[in-house]
Structure 1
Amino acid sequence: MNFEVLIPVILIFLIIIVFLILASKKGYSSKDQYDERQLMLRTNAYKYSAMTMLLCAVLYFVITQFAERPFTEDGVSVLLIALAGVAVFAIYSIFTDSFFGISGRRNGIGRPVVYCAVLAVIVIGNGIGAVRMFQEHMLIQNGVLTHNVMNLALAILFLLILISIGVKYLIDKREDEEA
């Protein structure tokens, strides 16, 4: 039995169980409440996300038409395009104050802090996997991006979201001090 793979899976599973237990003990509903402004901005975020994914898909199609061979394994490009859409949605929503619901924004300690902690765990976990894949030269094989690039892509995505939350927090803090 390969314990190098089994132990991280068990640890991640236990972390998820602990977070689920803590979330169920809170007693709040899992559905966020958004005001009308937030709902409108989230609609714009969905629109920009869809347009980004459409643009990336068209660019990928055009590039592959001129390439002699595919530069990604089957399915990898689709997942990377979807992650680009998620990044656009999340970052736009964060900077327009429509990412967290009414009860979850600017509360100091609360949902944003827990969310950042979960993001940090995800970034670290995927970052470790990405470094391992990079060291073993498994990201690109025969000039083609393999499915092993997903750890790197997810680490970058969640790191961007984490940085966006931090930058938005600093912007809000500066605005509060100036007011």
Structure 2
Amino acid sequence: MDGGGEVNQPPPKKKGIVFKKRKSDMVFIDSEPDKDGVVQLEDLSSFIVKQDKLHIFENDRDGSLVWDRRFPFNVVADEVVECISDISRVDEVGDIGVDQFLQVLGFRLAFIGHSQEKKHKKAVLETAEDVVLREQLSSKETALTELKKKFSDVEKER
């Protein structure tokens, strides 16, 4: 070879990246591993399945759904969403301004989505706890009613 280079060189190592084997079936999302920040690995695959339903396009529809391949996005945007003053505002800001706005908007949407997900998971857990507490209350009320009846029977016998 010209230049004296080696043919069988190993690929360059990436600095700063550490690969570790996962020892747990949980992923910690927040900085502290608490109840709200723990995600089970099986929930991640569930997340992907749910997201696929929102990201795919369907072929067998009449074009009236936004998930249909034949939905007229451009026609709706041109005739319903945009107006001349909006177009001129975007032109004034320019491409870089629009790019920056989309970055901010994307991060805000990600934050809102994550916050809503945590809120809904908490509500589901609280609802499950409510059911358990209602069952416990019902059983205690039943036991209390039985004890009151026994007490009244004992009082009658005296």
* Structure with the greater alpha carbon radius of gyration: 2
Task: Tell me which of the two structures has the higher relative contact order, counting C-alpha pairs closer than 8 angstroms and 6 or more residues apart.
Answer: 1
TM-score (norm 2): 0.33
